[in-house]
Amino acid sequence: MMEMDPTQLRVRVMMSFQRALLGVVTPSLRGVSVSWDEHRIRARFVYEADDSRHVELVQETETQVLADFGAEVVTDFAIEVTPNQSTLALNEGEVWVYLRREA
């Protein structure tokens, strides 16, 4: 990835996800967390239920992010199923790029 300070990289990742998530957020998506460094972008898509259609939506998002970064980075996008009754928590180094409001 071209040299950029941590703030610039954060803005670039967050803006990429803002664009990539357009049209792929479903009612069952509870949250999307992201972590990154100069060589890798990781994303965790947390759904309230298992559904095979989620794989396609996550792959679509990953493709959009890759289009913004190209061969500069490797991506690692994962799906996690966490029932609505469970509290969501970030893993070390993650930030939320999407978080559903839950009562």
Q: What is the mean pLDDT of residues 32-54?
A: 95
pLDDT in tens, 78-95: 999 999 889 999 999 999
pLDDT at 2: 56
Whole-angstrom distance, CA of residue 53 vs CA of residue 68? 24
Is residue 46 domain-resident? yes
> Is 1 within the bounds of a domain?
no
Mind listing the pLDDT tens digit for each residue in 46-82?
999 999 999 999 999 999 999 999 888 999 999 999 9
Residue 62: inside a domain, yes or no? yes
**What is the CATH classification number for the domain harbouring 20?**
3.30.70
Please report the pLDDT score of residue 72 as a whole number.
83
Residue 17 lies in a domain: yes
For residue 66, which of 35, 103, 41, 96 has the smallest C-alpha distance? 41
Number of domains in the chain: 1
Say if CB 28 and CB 64 are below 8 A apart.
no
Structural domain containing residue 54: 6-99
Q: In this model, does residue 38 exceed pLDDT 90? A: no
